[in-house]
Amino acid sequence: MRSHVLDGVAHDSPRDNRSDSASTQALQVLTTLYTNRMRQERALFCVRTLHTVIYLVMVCAIGILLYSGVTGHQGIWLWISTGLIAAEGLVFFGNGMRCPLTGLAVRLGAKKGYAFDTFLPEKFTRYTFRLFGTLAVIGFLLMALRWSHVIG
């Protein structure tokens, strides 16, 4: 309540209290909305960052698989790459051939379209599954041919 002075005597004004209460509540609602939106934007930034890092790691893993298939080189990086590709395949196919991070990005407010869930340009992500799926299959086929001694 605010006090105001009439004839030298302080009086409480309930009307001012209501307007203060309404403005305080409005401010709290706006603050909450702003805070939630900022949290949502930060969460979307984190999802996009994580998705971009995973994308780049998977590109490297497929590159290592192809290199090993072509050259016959084997080592720890081949096994790590194979494990990563297998895990990515399980997640992807287990989620109905969609990346779960894409759905999360949409729920956090990402605009739909290509490259909305990573920081990579569309030209790099438009044909991701066709291109890298094909390259992974080729890499695994080359490795299988090498392990079966069909190619040296």
| Residue 83 pLDDT exceeds 90 | yes
Query: pLDDT tens, 92-133?
Result: 999 998 888 888 888 888 877 655 788 888 887 888 889 999
pLDDT value at position 34? 67
Across the chain, which distance is largest between two alpha carbons, in Å? 107
Instruction: Evaluate whether 110 touches 48 at the Cβ level (below 8 Å).
Output: yes
Q: Is the pTM value of this prediction over 0.85?
A: no
| Weakest mean pLDDT among 36-45, 52-61, 107-116 | 107-116
Residue type, 16: D
For residue 24, name the pLDDT band (cuts at 50, 70, 90). confident
Query: pLDDT tens, 12-23?
Result: 555 555 556 877
Tokens representing residue 119 in the block: 């920081």
How many angstroms separate the CA atoms of 122 and 30, rounded?
A: 35
| Weakest mean pLDDT among 66-80, 114-128, 137-151 | 114-128
How many angstroms separate the CA atoms of 35 and 86, rounded?
A: 39
pLDDT value at position 89? 92
| Residue 33 pLDDT exceeds 80 | no
